[in-house]
Amino acid sequence: MAIVLSVETSCDESAVALVSLEHGEFHLHANEISSQVEEHSKWGGVVPEIASRRHLEALPFLIDRALSNSGLEIDQITAVASTVTPGLTGSLLIGSITGRTLASLHQKPFLGIHHLEGHLASIYLSEEVPKPPYMVLLVSGGHSELIKVEENQKFTRLGRSHDDAAGEAFDKVARLLGLSYPGGPEIQKVAEFGDARKFSFPKGRVSKPGGGFYPYDFSFSGLKTAVLRKIQSIESQNQALPIKDIAASFENVVAEVLVERSLNCVLDHGLNSLVMVGGVAANRRLRAMMKKACAAKSINISLAPMEFCTDNAAMIGAAALLRLSSGNVKSSLELGVSARWPMAEINSLYKSNPPF
C-alpha cells in the first residue's frame, strides 16, 4: 500500500492530507484544511502576502493534526507531494519548501504536483470512478478548461477561457452586486430566490483570427460587462436593484455556456463520459443542469464530491499516487515553483533537470 502525505497551498487554503492507494482503491486517512476566506473577504479578494504568511503559520499544525488523526507515523509514508504550479508564487513556495524539507529529512521521494492535475484527480476520491478516455470540465476560480483524459495521465486541452475564468466572473459580479467574497457561494445563495429568465445576458464566444469561433472556448469578461451595464442602467433610473434576479440570470447563463460547450466537445470527440471538477463544479444549478443535459444525450456524468471541488490536499495526494502507480516517478528536490505552467509540459516536473 502506497501512502502519500500531500500539501496544497496554491492560493488561500492551507491543506494537508494523507491518502493511500491499495488494489486500485483510494483511501483518505486525513484531510485537514485551514481556510483564510474570512480574513480575505474584508479585502474583497485574496491578498497574496497575507495568504503566504498564513500558510507558514498553519502548515506545522495541520501536518501534526493529520498524522495524529490518521494514526500514521511519518516513517509509514511512501512519498511527500506538494503543489508547485500554478498559483500564487509566495503561497506555492511555502508548501513546496515544506514538502521538500519533509522528504529530505525522512528520505522519502518528493513529487511536485500541477494544481490542475490535482483537480483532475479529485474524481478518484468519489465512489464511482470513470475509466479513460473521458472529457473533464474543470471550472474553478482561475480556470475554465475542457481536457481530454486518457490512460497514463495523458492530458489534452481542447477548450479554455481566454479572459476571466468562470470563478473569477462569479467573484466580480458578486462585487458589483454588493455581495461578499467569495462570490460563487454568495451568488448561489441569492440566485435561489431569483428569476433566471428575467434578464438576457450574452453567451460570450471567442473569435478565430480567420473567421468563425472557437467551439469549445470560453469568454466571461463580456458577460461581466453586460451585468455592469444593466446595473448602471437600473440605478440611473433610481430603481431598486433586483439583486436576486440579476444573480439568477447571471448564474443561469454561465451554467448554460458551460453545459452546452462541454457536451459539444464530448460528442464531437466521440466520447460518452464527462467529468466535472473544480470549485465552480460545486454550484447546485450547474450540477443539476449538467446532469439533465447529459441524461438527454446518453452521456455518463461523474461529479467530483462537493468536499473535493474546492482546493484541498486530498486531490494532490490522489494525483501523486496515480503518478507513483505508473512507475518509479519522483521530482528533483531542486524543483521550484511557477505561477503558471502549461499542462502540455506537465511531465517535465519529474525530470532530473527541473524546468524551474
pLDDT tens-place values along the chain, 356 residues long: 999 999 999 999 999 999 999 998 999 999 999 988 888 888 888 999 999 999 999 999 999 999 999 999 999 999 999 999 999 999 999 999 999 999 999 999 999 999 999 999 999 999 889 999 999 999 998 899 999 999 988 999 999 999 999 999 999 999 999 999 999 999 999 999 999 999 999 999 999 999 999 999 999 999 999 999 999 999 999 999 999 999 999 999 999 999 999 999 999 999 999 999 999 999 999 999 999 999 999 999 999 999 999 999 999 999 999 999 988 899 999 999 999 999 999 999 999 999 99
pTM of the full structure: 0.95
CATH architecture assigned to 2-122+311-350? 2-Layer Sandwich (3.30)
Query: Is 241 in contact with 231 (CB distance < 8 Å)?
Result: yes
Domain with CATH 3.30.420.40 in the chain: 2-122+311-350, 128-303
* Phi/psi of residue 95, nearest 5 degrees: -70, -40
State yes or no: cis peptide before 355, omega within 30 of 0: no
Hunting for cell 528536490 — which residue is that?
333
128-303: CATH, from 3.40.462.40, 3.90.550.10, 3.40.1360.10, 3.30.420.40: 3.30.420.40
- Whether 2 and 325 have beta carbons less than 8 Å apart is answered as yes
Asked whether the CA dihedral 235, 237, 241, 246 is positive or negative, the reply is: negative
173 φ, ψ to 5°?
-70, -40
* SS3 assignment, position 289: helix
**CB atoms closer than 10 angstroms to residue 260:** 13
